[in-house]
């Protein structure tokens, strides 16, 4: 599942997105079973892009960061894969930020028995400490995410055969 990329696309800032966009579009609106089946056909680098962009493309605010991170942790069970993907591209700053986010969300939404309560976007309105923490993480995320994308682009340029035709 490798897209055809033009030579000039190799120098674009959105190269990593171009490498996974066709896959994500092909599963949009499909069942989790189909998404899993497609995901399992990808190589390690493609899986990292898949989970990163499945997450990143939905995170346009502090509320979305909180809710989608909780969703990836509790519902999709994809949080570990997301972090492994960030580690694949050796972005330690983003990985540490995601681990900090994980701790905040688990402290808020997991009880002492390990059971999850459903996260809600309104949690940030009701809990000012949570809101402040998520706002700080979101600010750092906005700064660091460009570095993450640049690391992905660089890796792809050095390993074209794994990502593109």
pLDDT of residue 42: 96
Number of neighbours of residue 21 by Cβ within 10 angstroms: 15
Q: What is the mean pLDDT of residues 99-112?
A: 94
Lowest mean pLDDT segment, chosen from 58-62, 114-118, 148-152: 114-118
By percentage, how much of the chain surpasses pLDDT 90? 86
Contacts of 72 by beta carbon, 8 Å cutoff, 6+ apart: 55, 78, 79, 82
Q: What is the mean pLDDT of residues 87-107?
A: 97
pLDDT of residue 43: 95
Q: What integer best gives the mean pLDDT of the chain?
A: 94
């Amino acid at each position: 599942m490798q897209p055809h990329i033009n030579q000039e696309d190799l120098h674009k800032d959105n190269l990593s997105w171009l490498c996974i966009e066709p896959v994500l579009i092909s599963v949009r609106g499909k069942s989790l079973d189909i998404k899993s089946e497609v995901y399992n056909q990808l190589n390690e680098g493609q899986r990292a892009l898949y989970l990163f962009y499945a997450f990143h493309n939905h995170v346009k605010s502090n509320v979305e960061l909180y809710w989608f991170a909780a969703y990836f942790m509790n519902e999709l069970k994809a949080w570990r894969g997301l972090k492994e993907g960030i580690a694949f591209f050796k972005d330690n700053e983003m990985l540490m930020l995601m681990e900090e986010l994980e701790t905040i969300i688990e402290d808020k939404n997991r009880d002492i028995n390990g059971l999850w309560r459903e996260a809600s976007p309104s949690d940030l309105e009701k809990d000012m400490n949570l809101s402040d923490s998520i706002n700080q993480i979101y600010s750092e995320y906005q700064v660091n995410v460009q570095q993450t994308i640049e690391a992905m682009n660089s890796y792809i340029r050095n390993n074209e055969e794994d990502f593109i035709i």
